[in-house]
Amino acid sequence: MSAGKERSPQLYTPDQKFRRDSSVWTKVQAVLAPLQFLVCFASIGFVVSYLYTGDGYIIATLSILFKTAILYLIMITGAIWEKEVFGQYLLAPAFFWEDIVSFFVIAFHTAYVLSLIMGLMDAEKLMWLALIAYFTYFINAAQFLIKFRLGRNDKKRVGQIEKEVAI
């Protein structure tokens, strides 16, 4: 490490890293996250197709509801994961801003579901609301991908430090 250059703090302490690596919820998140991503892209296709053609409202709506169900599932299991790894269900310092943005993601998806159930918007407005919800989801997904990469970089850095210590 060069003089004047500070090392960025690690995402996980050694204990947290051990809990993360041994948690079944880490595996659950590893399955649900890409599944949600794929479902979101498929749903965007259905929604945009409906907005463009006026056909396919039912499949677009079902895809949004399916995406929302996966979101709720990943948020619940993610909170359990956060409790196991960091000792609190939400807003652990390492994932504070990701959790804050997640609240907006959930709020927009929930607004869609409530608006659909209560008949508060016409079909076109509902589809636009879904696209706004998806936009917030992509911001949040980008946050988590950055954290995933930081976690991998921590792993590489720790491995390099261990090699240097062994020499």
Question: What is the per-residue pLDDT across 38-52, written as a single tens digit (0 to 9) for each?
Answer: 999 999 999 999 999
Q: Is residue 77 part of a domain?
A: yes
Of the pLDDT bands very low, low, confident and very high (cuts 50, 70, 90), residue 4 is: very low
Burial (Cβ within 10 Å: 0-12, 13-18, ≥19) of residue 36: buried
Supply the angle between the helices 123-166 and 57-86 in degrees, to the nearest 10. 30
CA angle 19, 25, 27 (to 5 degrees): 100
pLDDT above 60 for 159: no
Asked if residues 77 and 29 have their Cβ atoms less than 8 Å apart, the reply is yes
Q: Are 72 and 39 in contact (CB under 8 A)?
A: no
Q: What is the pLDDT of residues 50-107, one digit of tens each?
A: 999 999 999 999 999 999 999 999 999 999 999 999 999 999 999 999 999 999 999 9
When divided into structural domains, the chain yields a total of 1
Question: What contacts 7, CB < 8 A, 6 or more positions away?
Answer: 1
Residues sharing a CB contact under 8 Å with residue 50, sequence separation 6 or more, in sequence order = 56, 57, 60, 123, 127
Range of the domain at 146: 14-166
The answer to whether residue 44 is domain-embedded is yes
Assess if residue 91 is contained within a domain: yes
What is the mean predicted confidence (pLDDT) over 23-31? 95
